[in-house]
Amino acid sequence: MNSSLLKKIAVLLAAILVLIQFIQPERNTGLALGENDIAHTVVVPANVQEILSNSCFDCHSNATQYPWYASIQPLGFWLKDHVDEGKYELNFSEFKTYTEKRKTKKFKEIVAELEEDEMPLASYTWVHKNTVLSPEQKATLLAWAKRNYELRMKHAELKVIPNEWCGKYKPLED
């Protein structure tokens, strides 16, 4: 490849980089804790809520706290991708709208992800050091998710699930 062609390619790439700055992807700026959030359907102790908000909500809720570099493309697109995918898999802001079966499955997945140290995503904790789960935080979150999973499985056999929050029993939807 001759150098004038390389120069042209470099200029073209630079122009594309400048142009894409004008395209800003839509942001996830809803309400993290609204009427359908997880605390409206499952008991979420304050310390668990704090861990979820701090380490999981950026990708698994309706409200992301955006870092400054989210305005720089293509980083913003890359972030949007994570948020879209994370919310699609698990959205704590919409947890109440899930079927009982799906809620149970999500608790099982949370346990698995934590046990394998898969969440929060490494590419994220690398930049957001304060979101790394301490051993205590991991243990707290794991115990909470396990307890919910086990409780739900046990009561699924009886076709009812306990709602510790309001002390009533609710029939299983499916």
Q: Which of 32, 33, 80, 86 binds ligand HEC (CB under 6 A)?
A: 86
- For residue 37, state whether it binds ligand HEC (rule: CB under 6 A): no
The Cα 89–Cα 156 span in angstroms is: 22
The conformation of residue 133, written as its DSSP 8-state character, comes to P
Residue with tokens 């979150």: 141
Q: Which of 33, 58, 80, 149 binds ligand HEC (CB under 6 A)?
A: 58
- For residue 60, state whether it binds ligand HEC (rule: CB under 6 A): yes
- For residue 62, state whether it binds ligand HEC (rule: CB under 6 A): no
CB 23 to ligand HEC: min, Å: 21
- For residue 121, state whether it binds ligand HEC (rule: CB under 6 A): yes
Residue type, 85: E
The Cα 61–Cα 25 span in angstroms is: 17
**Chain centre to alpha carbon of residue 87:** 6
Beta strands in 7-124 (DSSP E): none
Residue with tokens 């299983």: 172
- For residue 100, state whether it binds ligand HEC (rule: CB under 6 A): no
- For residue 113, state whether it binds ligand HEC (rule: CB under 6 A): yes
Paired strand residues for 166: none
CB 138 to ligand HEC: min, Å: 8
- For residue 151, state whether it binds ligand HEC (rule: CB under 6 A): no
The Cα 147–Cα 55 span in angstroms is: 20
Query: What residues make contact with ligand HEC under the rule CB under 6 A?
Result: 55-56, 58-60, 82, 85-86, 89-90, 109-110, 113, 119-121, 124, 133
